[in-house]
Amino acid sequence: MEFEGMISQDPEMLKIFDLVSKMSKIDAPVLVQGESGTGKELVARAVHSQSPRRDKPFVGINCSAVPETLLESELFGYEKGAFSGAVTSHKGYFEEAHGGTLFLDEISEVRPAVQVKLLRVLQEHKIRPLGKGHEVDVDIRIVSATNADIMQAVRNKSFREDLIFRLNTIVVKLPPLRERINDVPLLAKHFLSIACEEMGLSNVDIDPEVVQKLMRYSWQGNVRELQNMIVAAVCSCFMADSSKPRDDRRVVTLDDFPTLNEKVARKPRRTRLTDVPFYHAREQFEKEYLQALLERFGHNISAASRAGKICRKSLATKALKYGLIESGIKHEETAPEIEPSLV
């Protein structure tokens, strides 16, 4: 399902789409929580697009990207001569967003002095630009976002409790990509299509082996990381041999993802037990357990079977099934001393 630029078939994401659609009509502050790259700004834009304010400005600012000393003047604006270097008047983000929506990304990075002023805006709907002799009315909806534990910041006294309770009237929690892993094939093909269209390519597909590998990765950078990886792969695929026609190669393969195997090895996705059928979960446990057991005893099957209290023949059969040992090779190397408690 596509919703305001977001694509998903995950049940939790579909619930979020429904929530955004319904609560956008309520003119209340929204707090979007989620890891970096999960699409917090897309949710903010969806809130604006679905709201009665859709024809008014949507203005966004990353609070962590603006130097602490400049954030206040960027938000509230200033008059000419308000401070050294203010050679002209400057309209702040609040005034620019008048009538529409102001998106405050990384709200947890705002310093306490500015937090006080934000609280006043939410209470009074007025601002005072630096150097201005009177207040200015502002009519905006604030959507804020953070990838931090904002309540921990409250407990640490680095974020005002009264402000967070003004900002989180409605809370949207975005799941990381590793928890909506069935969206990976859908998103990969979507980003592939966009990249190919921008490069003037057509009839391009992605190797199923690539998709399976992508689903085994933990996606620390979430959807943004997946998009960047797909774009890089498309560039690799069609730039590797410039002598070929631009649409001669029509399948993006693992060769176009040179770091993917390493990424999966370093950061494999840990599946929840309920993500797979019972028999699959049992096999996964067996494989991991037997692998650790065999490695501990130098692949000495007799020693491993005694320590694990498992029939030697059964251990060998299962180890062979899971590819932990090779057929026809004896694995009776000298084993480490077995702990008495395990014998």
Yes or no: say if 144 and 29 are a contact pair by the CB < 8 Å rule: yes
**Residue in the structure block whose two tokens are 């990304």:** 105
- Which pLDDT score, from 0 to 100, does residue 275 have? 59
Please name the amino acid found at residue 68.
E
All structural domains of the chain: 2-175 (3.40.50.300), 178-266 (1.10.8.60), 273-342 (no CATH)
CA gap 237, 46 in Å, rounded: 34
- Which pLDDT score, from 0 to 100, does residue 310 have? 92
- Which pLDDT score, from 0 to 100, does residue 201 have? 82
- Which pLDDT score, from 0 to 100, does residue 86 have? 75
Yes or no: say if 168 and 55 are a contact pair by the CB < 8 Å rule: no
List the chain pLDDT tens, one digit each, 343 residues. 899 999 999 999 999 999 999 999 999 999 999 999 999 999 999 999 999 999 999 999 999 998 877 888 889 888 887 777 777 888 889 999 999 999 999 999 999 889 999 999 999 999 888 777 788 899 999 999 999 999 999 999 999 999 999 999 999 999 999 999 999 999 999 999 999 988 888 778 899 999 999 999 999 999 999 999 999 998 887 775 555 554 455 788 898 999 998 898 888 887 665 655 677 678 878 888 998 899 899 889 999 999 999 999 999 999 888 888 876 545 444 444 444 343 3
Q: What is the DSSP letter of 3?
A: E
Yes or no: say if 270 and 216 are a contact pair by the CB < 8 Å rule: no
Tokens describing residue 33: 């929580």
- Which pLDDT score, from 0 to 100, does residue 342 have? 38
CA gap 70, 111 in Å, rounded: 11
- Which pLDDT score, from 0 to 100, does residue 335 have? 42
The model carries a pTM of: 0.75
Yes or no: say if 172 and 46 are a contact pair by the CB < 8 Å rule: no
